[in-house]
Homo-oligomer: A and B are copies of this chain.
Amino acid sequence: MDISNSSVKIPKHLKDLPKFYSGVEKLLIAVDCIIFGFDKNNLKLLLFKRKVQPFKDNWTLIGSFVRKGENLDQAAKRILYEATGLSEVLLKQLFCYGRTDRDPGDRVISIAYYALIPLIEDDECTNGEYKAQWFEVDNAPSLILDHNEMVFSARKKLCENAKYEPIGFELLPQKFTLPQLRLLYEALFQRKLDRRNFSKKILSMDILEKLDEKDKSTSTKGANLYRFDELKYKDKLENGFYFKI
Residues of chain A at the chain B interface (Cβ within 8 Å):
1-8, 10-11, 14-15, 19-21, 24-29, 52-55, 58, 65-72, 93, 95-96, 98-100, 104-109, 111, 137-138, 140, 142-149, 151-152, 155
Contact = CB atoms under 8 A, between A and B. Distances in A.
B71 A14 contact: no
Contacts of A26: 26-29
B137 A111 contact: no
Given A4-B148, A6-B146, A24-B28, 7 more contacts: A1-B140, A2-B142, A10-B54, A20-B106, A26-B28, A29-B29, A72-B109
Q: State the number of copies, please.
A: 2
A55 B21 CA distance: 13
Contacts of A69: 100
A69 B25 CA distance: 11
Contacts of A105: 19-21
A137 B3 CA distance: 12
Nearest to A7: B142
Contacts of A108: 21
B100 A3 contact: no
A54 B109 CA distance: 25
A11 to B, nearest CB: 8
A27 B71 CA distance: 12
A26 B4 CA distance: 28
A178 B193 CA distance: 38
